Amino acid sequence: MKNQFRFSVKKTDTLRNQIYQDIKDAIIQGKLKPGQRLREADLSEEMGVSRGPIREAILLLEREGLLVTQPHRETTVATVDQDEVLDLLNPLRVLLESFCIQKILPHLTDAHFAELTDILNGLVESCEKNDLEQVVKKDLQFHEYLISLTHEPYLQTLWSGVSSRIVFHFMSNSQMHRENNFTKLIEEHQALLNALKTKEWPVVEEELKKHIY
């Protein structure tokens, strides 16, 4: 049986990246469920592409921990439990973001803070609309922007792998995060932005840990 969720046919040259992003978005947004099977043949037919770029995209998503392929078995959407998030993923995320922020903190400018403010405003707007998909995108964008300022692709790849599984768990348990119109989420991002403006690492570290934990 084919997936109920349907992918669109691909028409540009960046096939692997498009397929990777589309499958990743579908997983994070809950359109593909934990344990659901993905068949290369079905994806190839739905997207109108050969299996090669699909296989490459699947490999990338396996590295990020969003897909699992067992020997001689089909690929399935991964599962993430709360213990993994609390005991492994959150500490890893704190470590990575701490390293990156300490690296960029002395070099942050008013232009950087303006960009972060724009992202935060977008987050607030998404929360007010109760648009969970956009809330997640804006939340990720806020942190991705900080990581990107290191200009270190390896750090960005590491962070993406950790954050993807955290967000996947977040979406799978989304109801608990809708309380009070995401007030806590907004307040934590605002507090983190205010801390970044001080350019004092102990202040930033305290707010970062509050936010992630």
Q: What is the pLDDT tens value at each position of the chain, 213 positions in all?
A: 456 677 776 665 588 899 999 999 888 878 898 899 999 999 999 999 999 999 999 999 998 889 998 877 789 999 888 899 999 999 999 999 999 999 999 999 999 999 999 999 999 999 999 888 888 889 999 999 999 999 999 999 899 889 888 888 877 665 555 556 688 899 999 999 999 999 999 999 999 999 998
CA 33 to chain centre: 16
The answer to whether the CB of 168 falls within 8 A of the CB of 27 is: yes
pLDDT in the model for residue 180: 63
Detail the DSSP E strand segments found in 51-166: 67-69, 75-77
- Structure-token pair, residue 176: 């608990």
CA distances 74 to 12, 17, 157, Å, are 27, 22, 25
Q: Long-range contacts for 159-162 (Cβ within 8 Å, ≥24 apart)? A: 159/93, 159/96, 159/97, 159/100, 160/64, 161/63, 161/64, 161/65, 162/89, 162/92, 162/93, 162/96
| Domains in the chain: boundaries | 15-77, 82-212
Architecture of the domain spanning 15-77: Orthogonal Bundle (1.10)
Question: Does CATH number 3.20.20.80 belong to domain 82-212?
Answer: no
Nearest CA to 46 among 6, 16, 74, 76? 6
Residues 6+ apart with CB under 8 A from 92: 162
Intrachain domains 15-77 and 82-212 with the same fold: no
Dihedral angle over CA of 157, 162, 165, 170, nearest 10: -120
Distance CA 27, CA 30 (A): 5
- Structure-token pair, residue 192: 């983190």
Nearest CA to 17 among 47, 45, 39, 41? 47
Whole-prediction pTM: 0.80
Residues 6+ apart with CB under 8 A from 126: 134, 135, 137, 138
pLDDT in the model for residue 6: 77
